[in-house]
A and B are shown apart, each in its own frame.
Chain A
């Protein structure tokens, strides 16, 4: 009798382990580029999904900086936004769902409606002059639960600036000095898997990810010795990460790596890999990443021709 109970418990334990595991399958040729184009165009940006499931990806095209695709991957429209939206998120706060973007080439942050109308700008002049250095090189932003906007100078001095929901400067932390000692903090995100929410920093130069409190106080390193983490997204208890030197990884809330996707056989970090050399399911230089609303993963690459890959969650 006791043996039967033990066996049953063992089976239940195995079943729960299996349920905790995640697996993904690659979806080839998911994106249908705009009519007349073979690829989406010069990519050095981000990808995000709105609450309706539409997919937004930034490309370096003048006056058409964001392309919008349907759930099925078919092109819908381009938004008349700047071509250097290096990092952006889509968040619901207060007055509805908006796109918040760091405009790398124009040293500012914009907040837009989902049809591309700019409703707020944080200009260069709003940043503290003593932290600007040789000029801001803003690479990403995100929104905290209270509406504060976190902006990182990732190609500059890796300072993380905090602005109110109205775009007024509040504080700054990070940078190259103690205690965080950041180097090329490529993107920052608000990690709402935790209560209170945390700041998750892709400290790409040091090949690590780390958590801080919302005031910038160091909590812990999430992982080190990565292939240069560049971007991240959250869904449930999971976090997916684009590692620009050739990997997509998935992490659980305990900072355990639970999946690797599309790993390039050798490290890479270049926009120059031509479409003829692309291999199905193998990444080149992942630069932006997002979960969709169902937990599937979409990744955009640093690539002159523009490339998006998709992995579906196996259920």
Chain B
């Protein structure tokens, strides 16, 4: 359809719409720089989910769209190799020794940072996020994370309790050299642990009995 196909009385309306679209586009172009560059998230967001039965899920997210310390995807992935360590007695255990990491790329900040740390509406820069996740069963009833000295990237550690989703989110910002508070995990109650021990013991005894009986029978047969 060309302009010549418009009836004469529709031309002013068409022109008005075109004019509005052009003006609106100019407004958007001119005003967008005002809200594109924000402060960014100058930290790695470490979301700790406490699962039943002493399981722990740690999802660490790097933003290479808004973090001035992370220039691109390669730097983001480097930052996620060893972002924080687990303190076990006197040693610091890299996350890679607890479980292999699974890596995903997305743009869903709201799922991976606590509400008070989400960018403000005037800082609506695009986020390009990479999340590395580690999942393991804890050997201790409390866990402590620690940032080795010299680490470039601060880590915002925040905790969600999957068995109590309405509980307020707790967060702490860990700078290089900082140690988190002890975080209680869902350690199975003593009777559950004793049940496991008892069941294992019964199984071992039954197996022993079965083996010795067969061995004895074979001896007799021979």
For residue B186, give the distance in angstroms from its CB to the closest CB of chain A.
25
With known contacts A245-B154, A269-B42, A271-B39, A84–B34 Cβ distance under 8 A: yes
- Name A7-24 residues within 8 Å CB distance of B: none
A254 CB within 8 Å of chain B: no
A residues near B109, Cβ cutoff 8 Å: none
Which partner residue on chain A sits nearest B66 by CB separation?
A: A155
Q: Roughly how many angstroms separate A268 CA and B33 CA in the complex, as a whole number?
A: 27
- A227 with B68: CB separation less than 8 A: no
- B176 with A225: CB separation less than 8 A: yes
Q: Roughly how many angstroms separate A52 CA and B156 CA in the complex, as a whole number?
A: 42
Among A70-78, A103-111, A232-240, the one that faces the other chain is A103-111
- A154 with B173: CB separation less than 8 A: no
- B68 with A156: CB separation less than 8 A: yes
A residues near B43, Cβ cutoff 8 Å: 269
For residue A127, give the distance in angstroms from its CB to the closest CB of chain B.
15
A residues near B176, Cβ cutoff 8 Å: 207, 225
Q: Roughly how many angstroms separate A225 CA and B154 CA in the complex, as a whole number?
A: 12
Which partner residue on chain B sits nearest A135 by CB separation?
A: B37
- B120 with A245: CB separation less than 8 A: no
B residues near A156, Cβ cutoff 8 Å: 68
- B122 with A42: CB separation less than 8 A: yes
Which partner residue on chain B sits nearest A268 by CB separation?
A: B173
- Name B94-130 residues within 8 Å CB distance of A: 115-118, 120, 122-123
- A269 with B152: CB separation less than 8 A: no
- B68 with A184: CB separation less than 8 A: yes
- A183 with B154: CB separation less than 8 A: no
For residue A178, give the distance in angstroms from its CB to the closest CB of chain B.
16
- Name B67-85 residues within 8 Å CB distance of A: 68-69, 71
A266 CB within 8 Å of chain B: yes
Q: List 16 A-B contacts (CB under 8 A).
A: A104-B37, A105-B33, A137-B37, A157-B71, A183-B68, A183-B152, A207-B175, A225-B177, A227-B175, A228-B42, A245-B175, A269-B42, A269-B43, A270-B116, A271-B123, A304-B120
Q: A44-B38, A155-B39, A271-B39 are in contact. List 16 more A-B contacts (CB 8 A).
A: A60-B122, A62-B31, A82-B34, A104-B37, A105-B36, A106-B34, A183-B152, A184-B42, A184-B68, A205-B68, A207-B176, A225-B177, A228-B42, A266-B173, A267-B174, A304-B120
Give A residues with C-beta under 8 Å from B. Answer: 42, 44, 60, 62, 82-84, 104-107, 137, 154-157, 183-184, 204-207, 225, 227-228, 245, 266-274, 302, 304
